[in-house]
Amino acid sequence: MDVKFLEIFFSPLEQFKITVFFPQLFDYLNYYIVFSHYETMLIDVYFTSFFIYLFFSFFTLFFFFSFYIKVSLIIPNTNWQYFCETLYNFIYGVLSQQLGKDTNFFFSLIFSLFLFILICNFVGMIPYGFTSTAFLIETFTLSFSFLIAINIIGFQIQGIHFFDLFVPKGVPQVLLPFIVFIEFISHMIKPVSLGVRLFANLMSGHSLLNILSGFVISLSKFHFFIGLIPFCVIVLICFLELGIAFLQAYVFITLVSIYLSDSLGSGSH
């Protein structure tokens, strides 16, 4: 077998490669349709593996809600409904701790965000799957869009008092400009830290699994039982990654709810 092929196959980052489907067709569409009508627009539209798995996550989220509504009863009588309501109550309890009386208004949005991130994370755990949340383009899109919306909502509700968020109580006047500057910078980097946290945890976890899998395959060439113990370790790490996938979705919506609470003025500062 070609050595170069083995290096590519066992590359930890190979699983994050975006595959373009029908490139010649979309080259034609990009040039003769987009560029011919809008010469100043540099837009390349392609049908990629990233789009397929992202669409699959959206479809799964839609199926989750549709199926739940179809089979739900006042008293749960199926394991599926019991699971859905347990998850629903868990997320509702998390949000109510931060948002209080505003929980009902924002719950549907944040619960949908939680399920979407969770599905994207779990899809990446499927063999030959693709982890869309291991890309900064998706995590930054989610974090920046939600933080921009949170700031707009906070300013609409509080008006000029929204800027009290940057002025902690009890700060001496001489330190106030310095503290306000620090608070403003920390507020501006919130979407960056939120997106990087999700991206880094998913990418590092999947890369670790890929490296260990290659290690097990190499050991198995010598003897089956030599690679058996590392294989059991990989299975345990897979379960750990499933827990991390859930935990990262939970951390993401928890931080979003905290930022939303601060913007609404209901959080202590």
What is the CB neighbour count within 10 angstroms for residue 234?
A: 16
What's the pTM?
0.80
Q: Assess contact for 135 and 48: CB atoms under 8 A.
A: no
Which carries the bigger pLDDT value, residue 142 or residue 84? 142
Residue (of 188, 106, 115, 186) closest to 153 by Cα position: 106
The pLDDT tens digits for 28-74 are 666 666 555 555 455 667 778 788 888 888 888 888 777 766 666 66
Per-residue pLDDT tens for 182-216? 888 888 899 999 999 999 888 888 788 777 777 77
Chain segment 155-169, per-residue pLDDT in tens: 888 888 888 878 877
Q: Which residue type occupies 140?
A: F
Instruction: pLDDT band for 98, please (50, 70, 90 cuts).
Output: confident
Range scoring the smallest mean pLDDT among 49-53, 147-151, 168-172, 252-256? 168-172
Rounded Cα–Cα distance for residues 140 and 121 (Å)? 15
